[in-house]
């Protein structure tokens, strides 16, 4: 098949030096000198050789000629995050006001005089912006979910469809000797992190209370309510408790003591053998998770999430005993 000649040369060989590759990797915005490598054309007359300094170089074929170009300094474009600056300024004003306010007017200390404290409610459409939805569709699954206001526009409606269909890369093999790992679809509703000055994350505090109160209405399925805590050293632990919804038109008010939460690794998903207490001042977010292995539609309506102080519940510790604790070590 004949090839169309471009210019005086019938074929060219483009050679990219490591400097050009590095320059392209930075998006062509690097201000360092660029070395332009031009390969000598193959099977072309010597008059086609590139010029350097106004003279032709009588070079042999397949020899590369390198020419240094001028350094071009491009001004760096800086984009201001005005929304982040506004959020940081509000946080600074809030911090300054709390320093000069009384004990009962300060938000961090006023909760010590209350028996309950509402963390999240959904009376306005803007309250839904503090939450986001995650499904297994992000890694090839087939479930879907959405968050919207309830019919009375006073609650949050978390609904969708849980699919047990495997992703394409997790299909079981036909080899009987190969393992067949189980798969379950997953959806969850999680709070967004609080951002303070310069987009720094701020933790939620559970101090002053000993239980979580939920008012919700479900469809009869089992959900997991999780609270994720940051334990430092890039280690996050999720404290989980199951929620069994009744279904029907009636609302449920569930009080869950802190000591009833079970600790598990947030990334691995397995429960810790040695349970540990919750970091009350290092809470990152709340989460409603559905992964019960039952395919079909789901709907969970949430009214509010609050912290309460109940004298019948213990204030600290955990009810999940450590199996390695030497209980009978002092006997005999």
Q: What does the pLDDT look like over 54-83, one tens digit per residue? A: 444 444 455 666 666 777 766 666 676 667
CA 89 to each of CA 98, 108, 130, 204, 270: distance values in angstroms, whole numbers, following the listed order: 14, 19, 19, 20, 41
* 289/164 same-domain check: yes
* 55/102 same-domain check: no
* 152/230 same-domain check: yes
> Which residues, in sequence order, are CB contacts of 327 under 8 Å at separation 6+?
none
* 169/142 same-domain check: yes
* 57/137 same-domain check: no
* 22/123 same-domain check: no
* Distance from C-alpha of 100 to C-alpha of 22, rounded to nearest angstrom: 54
Residue 316 domain-assigned (yes or no): no
* 221/277 same-domain check: yes
Tokens of 208: 């002053």
pLDDT of residue 128: 93
Residue 297 has, within 13 A of its CA and on its CB side, a CA count of: 3
Residue 166 domain-assigned (yes or no): yes
Domains held by the chain: number: 3
Below-50 pLDDT ranges, the chain: 1-16, 30-60, 327-332
Residue 315 domain-assigned (yes or no): no
pLDDT of residue 271: 80
pLDDT of residue 106: 62
Residue 145 domain-assigned (yes or no): yes
Residue 329 domain-assigned (yes or no): no
pLDDT of residue 43: 46
CA 50 to each of CA 5, 7, 47, 280, 326: distance values in angstroms, whole numbers, following the listed order: 18, 13, 8, 71, 84
* 163/99 same-domain check: no
* 90/140 same-domain check: no
* 97/131 same-domain check: no
* 156/25 same-domain check: no
pLDDT of residue 256: 92
* 44/150 same-domain check: no
CATH code, domain carrying 168? 2.60.120.430
pLDDT of residue 63: 65
The domain in which residue 95 lies consists of 81-111
* Residue-wise pLDDT tens digits, 179-192: 777 888 999 999 99
């Amino acid at each position: 098949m004949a090839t169309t000649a471009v210019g005086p040369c019938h074929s060219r060989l483009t050679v990219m030096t490591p400097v050009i590759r590095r320059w392209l990797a930075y998006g062509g915005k690097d201000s360092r000198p660029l070395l332009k490598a031009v390969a000598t054309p193959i099977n072309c007359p010597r008059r086609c050789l590139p010029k350097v300094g106004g003279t032709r170089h009588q070079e042999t074929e397949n020899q590369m000629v390198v020419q240094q170009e001028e350094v071009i300094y491009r001004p760096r474009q800086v984009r201001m995050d005005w929304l982040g600056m506004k959020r940081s300024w509000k946080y600074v004003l809030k911090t300054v006001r709390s320093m000069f306010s009384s004990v009962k007017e300060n938000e961090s200390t006023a909760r010590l005089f209350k028996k309950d404290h509402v963390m999240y409610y959904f009376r306005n459409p803007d309250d839904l912006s503090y939450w986001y939805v995650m499904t297994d569709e992000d890694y090839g699954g087939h479930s879907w979910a959405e968050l919207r206001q309830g019919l009375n526009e006073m609650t949050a409606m978390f609904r969708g469809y849980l699919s047990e269909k495997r992703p394409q890369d997790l299909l079981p093999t036909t080899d009987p000797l190969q393992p067949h790992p189980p798969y379950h679809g997953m959806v969850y509703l999680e709070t967004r992190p609080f951002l303070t000055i310069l987009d720094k994350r701020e933790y939620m505090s559970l101090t002053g209370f000993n239980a979580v109160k939920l008012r919700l209405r479900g469809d009869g399925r089992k959900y997991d309510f999780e609270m994720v805590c940051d334990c430092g050293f890039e280690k996050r632990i999720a404290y989980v408790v199951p929620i069994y919804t009744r279904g029907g038109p009636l609302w449920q008010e569930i009080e869950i003591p802190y000591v009833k939460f079970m600790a598990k690794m947030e990334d691995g998903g397995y429960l810790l053998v040695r349970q540990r207490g919750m970091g009350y001042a290092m809470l990152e977010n709340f989460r409603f998770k559905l992964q019960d292995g039952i395919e079909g539609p789901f709907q969970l309506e949430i009214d509010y999430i609050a912290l309460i102080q109940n004298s019948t519940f213990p204030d600290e510790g955990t009810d999940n005993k450590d199996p390695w604790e030497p209980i009978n070590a002092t006997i005999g």
